Amino acid sequence: MAYPIKLSAPIFKGNESTYIQKAIQSGNLATFGEFIDQFEYKIGALTKTHQAVALNSGTSALHLGMVLLGVGRGDEVICQSFTFCASANPIIYLGATPIFVDSERDTWNMSPELLEDAILNRIAYGKKPKAIVVVHLFGMPAKMNEIMEIARKYNIPVLEDAAEAVGSQYEGKYCGTMGDLGVYSFNGNKIITSGGGGALISNNAFLLQKAQYLSMQAREDLPYYQHLEIGFNYRMNNLSAAVGVAQLEMLQEAVENRRQINQNYRKLLANMPGIAFQNNNELSASNFWLTTILIDEKVTGFSNDQLRIKLMKNGIETRFLWKPLHMQPVFRGIQFFGGNVSKNLFQSGICLPSSTDLTFEQQTRIVELIHDELAKSFK
């Protein structure tokens, strides 16, 4: 169904067309070209501390990140359960086993306490985890101080899935720069897009050089094609990078707009009982990629699904929160440390339209419909 009001629509009102034309005129549409270099430079400049390798998706960045951290057959990797499947799928690609960890209530991301429980349990079984995948869900930074402290204590590397958190900060540091490696996604409905794309970021130039090499089929620098390792075809192309560079130019504006949209929802829904938000704490500044709310059905008299259907009938797209991976049929039987936190979030939450160019009038309309639903429940 085509919705007049989308969950998270891309906007192209900058230099996208100009740069695409330039890329075509340059003759470089594939994995070489000025826009790939510019794209990487701009991401590095944004973080100030890190460098980037441009890849063709966030999923390939996660996969390469795990390869670089040495994840292989028979290993175990701890992964936040409350996330999109792409955070965990590369663990399976590598013949390793995920161990899922539940969220805490404050940020909805990986619980540091449960992370330590999981590590201690696996060490007791002689299976020290090879890596930890932590996610900044919907743009909200996880409790990175606590998580990094535990990871350092047990000397386990951290891969930061910041696919949804481009532009989010924690203690003034950009998400993706606090772990050993960070991942961004520039897929179609993320805060900015390159059509499809991703990046692996690090302050370790050696690791990034290796990532770039592996992303281009591990081709040796020789006049003929010679390979010492199995590589991947994961490099970003110059055409995507052209779009990505133009989008990076308006990242700050996109972050400001989405934060404003979040503020507006908070104000407009402030007097509604039974509605709660995902909140920043004193250390965190979410990009608010998506504004998400929790609905306490016992108070509101309607469920997240009833609201989804009501808004859908009015041409408004919403989405459930991610279904935790430990509840996914495909991951049945995988070990899980935790209780009902992510399950409850999934069962009561809904993502509201959060496109960068969503207007205040559209937001008012959405909130009116939520009020109608509430009024109906109390008739």
Ligand X SMILES: *Cc1c(COP(=O)(O)O)cnc(C)c1O
Dihedral, CA atoms, 301, 345, 141, 177, nearest 10 degrees?
Answer: -150
Residue 57 within binding range of ligand X, rule CB under 6 A: yes
**Distance between CA 375 and CA 352 in Å, rounded?**
19
**Which residues does residue 352 pair with via DSSP β-bridges, in sequence order?**
291
DSSP 151-170: HHHTT--EEEE-TT-TT-EE
The packing angle between helices 112-124 and 144-153, to 10°, is 20
Q: Which two tokens stand for residue 206?
A: 């050696």
Taking CB under 6 A as the criterion, the residue among 58, 65, 112, 301 binding ligand X is 58
- Binding marks (x or -) toward ligand X, 268..297, rule CB under 6 A? ------------------------------
- Binding marks (x or -) toward ligand X, 120..159, rule CB under 6 A? ---------------x------------------------
In the bound complex, what is the minimum distance in angstroms from residue 184's beta carbon to ligand X?
A: 8
Our CB check for ligand X shows the closer of 161 and 180 to be 161
Looking up tokens 């089929």 gives 217
Q: CB within 8 A of 186, min separation 6: which ones?
A: 58, 166, 192, 193, 194, 195, 196, 197, 198, 199, 240, 244, 247
Taking CB under 6 A as the criterion, the residue among 8, 28, 59, 193 binding ligand X is 59
Which of 130, 143, 190, 343 is labelled catalytic?
A: 190
In the bound complex, what is the minimum distance in angstroms from residue 136's beta carbon to ligand X?
A: 8
The packing angle between helices 251-268 and 238-249, to 10°, is 60
- Catalytic status, residue 343: no
In the bound complex, what is the minimum distance in angstroms from residue 323's beta carbon to ligand X?
A: 13
Our CB check for ligand X shows the closer of 83 and 257 to be 83
- Binding marks (x or -) toward ligand X, 183..222, rule CB under 6 A? --x-x----------x------------------------
| Cβ-based neighbour number of residue 167 at 10 Å | 26
Burial of 333 (0-12, 13-18, 19+ CB in 10 A): exposed
- Binding marks (x or -) toward ligand X, 154..173, rule CB under 6 A? -------x-xx---------
Which residues contact ligand X by CB under 6 A?
57-59, 83-84, 86-87, 135, 161, 163-164, 185, 187, 198
Residues belonging to the active site: 190
